[in-house]
A and B are shown apart, each in its own frame.
Chain A
Amino acid sequence: MERFITEANLQQFAATLAGKKHVLAPVASGGTTCFRRLVPGMRLDFSRMAVISPKDATFPRNETLLLVQRYVEESGKKLELKEQLPEGECIVIGSRPCGARGKLIFDPVYETEAIKDPYYLRRRDNTLFITLSCDRPESTCFCHSVGSNPADGTGSDVLLTAVEGGFFARAITPKGEELLADALFEEAGTRAEEAAAKQTKARELMGQAHDFSSAAAKLLERFDDMGFWQAQSNKCISCGACTYMCPTCYCFNITDDEAGLVSRRLRSWDNCMSHTFTLEGSGHNPRGTKAHRLKNRVGHKFSYYPDLHASQIACCGCGRCIKQCPAGVDIRQVVMAAQEYVDER
């Protein structure tokens, strides 16, 4: 199904949806653009890619897994556990293709034959993505190097492409078709061609893609070459911005917090670039330096994950980790260096 919507009508469409459902959309905030829950008075800001990815929709930065209520009775102390499974639908409006596709990296890990993560699965199955294709890729964008492109509809329900006066909208899933049935959408007319031309131009603007095809093997080959990893991680300040901005980083921590007779078991985004991530009770740390940690982060995305999951690189090429790194670490350069490096030891 192909439709057209004017920019004013898209704002209205989003506002109406937000009145009924949880809508997550990029809005201008304090000089940046970020995903917020859309509430009346907020306007969509499609002028640039949001600083943090829309990952919160399917994997919130923190969530309660269990609530624990303690009772003191005559017969003794009792505990009651309650699962806190997420309820309700979420609609993400204005994710870029990288963010919508990036969330798919979770699937083979969070849903296996043996283990099904009910919190993630519920959110995933109750979230729709109305995605905006990119017309002006940035220098940090490299989705075309990891099997995607600026108009990739993978992981989305609707793909919007900016055209004269509004947006060309293509439904990708049946749920997307339901969204486009709204009266604010009009006949697409000849705008399909206009959109296709825009998409082709955006792809051309990205230039030559990086060839990461030997990364999986080469990163493993470099595993013991700590000199290489020290050189690559020299600039890193272990702040973890790369992990928190990343649409595909799925590692988490589980912690408890306690107030009186109630405690909560929480799951939060965790940061593999922090030395506490793998610090053991004994004081031993298998990834004791930032060189070890950068090696694992890059290795996980470009080698271990692809090895385990059908050669799929666990990176969507959004470039946030490059753009937001205060020290200028560029994951593309690290992977290319590992591929090209000649070990002279």
Chain B
Amino acid sequence: MSANPYLPDMATVVEVIEETPNIKSFRLVLNDDDKMKTFTFQPGQVGQLSVFGAGESTFVINSSPTRMDYLQFSVMRVGEVTTRLHQLKPGDQIGVRAPLGKPFPVENMKGKNVLFIGGGIGMAPLRTLFTYMLDNRSDFKDITLLYGARTPVDLTYQEELPEWLGREDINTVLCVDNEYPGWEHKVGLIPNILLEMNPSPENTVAITCGPPIMIKFTLQALKKLGFEDEQIITTLEKRMKCGVGICGRCNIGTKYVCQDGPVFTYAQLKQLPSEL
């Protein structure tokens, strides 16, 4: 990051992937070769993307630090900035301020079973860690991914799903809310499928992200399965502007999600005032 924390680095869009009808992934390369070569981040950290003239918004870096050909961000079209982001094409210029925030505690997960539970666009922050673990497979024990969306059309990272489903060294379960023509995987809500899967909490870390309602019931399901608060990790979303703990809108009491998060254990979340 530059000495001026508000000054973005310029980057070029090298690839745009249409993930779903309202989600696109952008692969970016910093224009400054040296910066791109020395750029480091850890899974779970976020960045601010700028479309000059429209503004800046925060997204997780969902590529893995083990694959540094580009930085990938997935963007759901919901407002002004994301609408302008969706108009970008390969070759277009974009501003990036990254990395920001605190990453997943990867070191603490080594030697453990890892259970990923992602819902919809909530798969983005999981993808970075999931890919990182696939590239460092021997550091972790059993890896399970439960990934669901409303319909099969709403599943992101379709390009990668065949690989994830096909790998022998991971267990991938996909689900959608309702029956859908041609759908061969699970049907049902994520928390229910999770209970059905009945994963053991023994030496396991659960990492979940998705819409607030899904997280709420997933946490309940994990508790029912016997997971302790310290074994559950999530990553929060808040409206952010500065990204560096100054502008004052992403705080929950004394904690600033942009600086102290966005990754929190369920135990840490319980210590915070209830303002999610």
A255 and B275 in contact, given A115-B5, A115-B245, A282-B78 (Cβ under 8 angstroms): no
Across-interface contacts of A79 in B (CB, < 8 A)? 10, 52, 93
Say yes or no: A109 contacts B93, CB within 8 Å: no
Say yes or no: is A228 at the interface (Cβ < 8 Å to chain B). no
Chain B hits for A10, CB < 8 A? none
Cα of A279 to Cα of B238 in the assembled complex, Å: 9
Measured CA separation A255–B250 after assembly (Å): 17
| A223 in contact with B274 (CB, 8 Å) | yes
Q: Is the beta-carbon distance between A224 and B273 smaller than 8 angstroms?
A: yes
From B8, B79, B93, B246, contact of A250 by CB (8 A): B246
- Decide if A223 touches B249 in the complex (CB within 8 Å): no
Known: A117-B5, A300-B251, A304-B251. A280 touches B241 (CB 8 A): no
Q: Which residues of A (249-297) have their CB < 8 Å from a CB of B? A: 250-258, 263, 265, 267, 270, 272, 277-282, 284, 286-287, 292, 296
Closest Cβ of chain A to B267, distance in Å, is 18
Q: Is the interface of A mostly helix, strand, loop or mixed?
A: mixed
Expressed in whole angstroms, the minimum distance between the Cβ of A87 and any Cβ of chain B is 15
- Per-residue interface assignment for chain B, residues 50 to 67, with 1 indicating a CB less than 8 Å from any chain A CB and 0 otherwise: 101111110000000000
> Interface size for chain B: under 10, 10 to 19, 20 to 34, or 35 or more residues?
35 or more
Determine if B161 is an interface residue (Cβ-Cβ < 8 Å): no
| Alpha-carbon distance between A276 and B162 when the two chains are bound, in angstroms | 41
| A278 and B240 alpha carbons, distance in the complex (Å) | 8
- A31 and B227 alpha carbons, distance in the complex (Å): 66
Chain B residues with CB below 8 A from A118, complex form: 3-4
B36 contacts the other chain (CB 8 A): no
Partner among A65, A287, A299 whose Cβ is within 8 Å of the Cβ of B6: A65
Q: Indicate the member of B52, B55, B212, B252 with the most A CB atoms within 10 Å.
A: B52
Assess whether B242 is interfacial by the CB under 8 Å rule.
yes
Distance in angstroms between the alpha carbons of A68 and B52 in the assembled complex = 7
Closest A residue to B2 using CB positions: A83
Give the CA-CA distance A137 to B240 in the complex, in Å.
39
Q: Give residues 1-41 of B contacting A (CB, 8 Å).
A: 3-8, 10
Contact B239 A258 (CB under 8 A): no
Among B92, B242, B276, contact of A77 (Cβ-Cβ < 8 Å): B92
A199 to B4, CA, bound (A): 43
Residues in B whose Cβ lies below 8 Å from that of A278: 238-239, 249-250
B276 touching A254 by the CB < 8 A rule? Answer: no
- Most chain A beta-carbon neighbours within 10 Å: one of B238, B250, B254, B274: B254
Shortest distance in angstroms between A93's beta carbon and chain B's nearest beta carbon?
A: 29
Beyond A115-B5, A224-B273, A256-B53, is A251–B237 a contact (Cβ under 8 Å)?
no
Most A CB atoms within 10 A — which of B53, B54, B238? B53
B55–A66 CB distance below 8 A: no
Kindly state the separation between the CA atoms of A109 and B274 in the bound complex, as whole angstroms: 24
Decide yes or no whether B165 CB sits under 8 A from chain A: no
A28 within 8 A of partner (CB): no
Interface: A241 (CB within 8 A): no
**With A and B bound together, what is the CA distance between A182 and B94 in angstroms?**
52
- The reply to whether B274 and A224 contact each other, CB–CB distance below 8 Å, is yes
B82 within 8 A of A: yes
- In the complex, whether B125 has a CB less than 8 A from a CB of chain A is no
A to B CB contacts below 8 Å, 30 in the list: A68-B52, A70-B52, A78-B93, A79-B52, A79-B93, A81-B95, A85-B4, A109-B245, A115-B246, A220-B253, A223-B253, A223-B274, A224-B273, A250-B246, A250-B248, A251-B247, A251-B249, A254-B56, A254-B242, A256-B53, A256-B56, A267-B6, A270-B247, A280-B238, A281-B76, A286-B252, A292-B275, A300-B248, A303-B253, A304-B254
Task: Show the binding face of B for A, using Cβ within 8 Å.
Answer: 3-8, 10, 50, 52-57, 76, 78-79, 82, 91-93, 95, 211-212, 237-239, 241-242, 244-254, 273-276
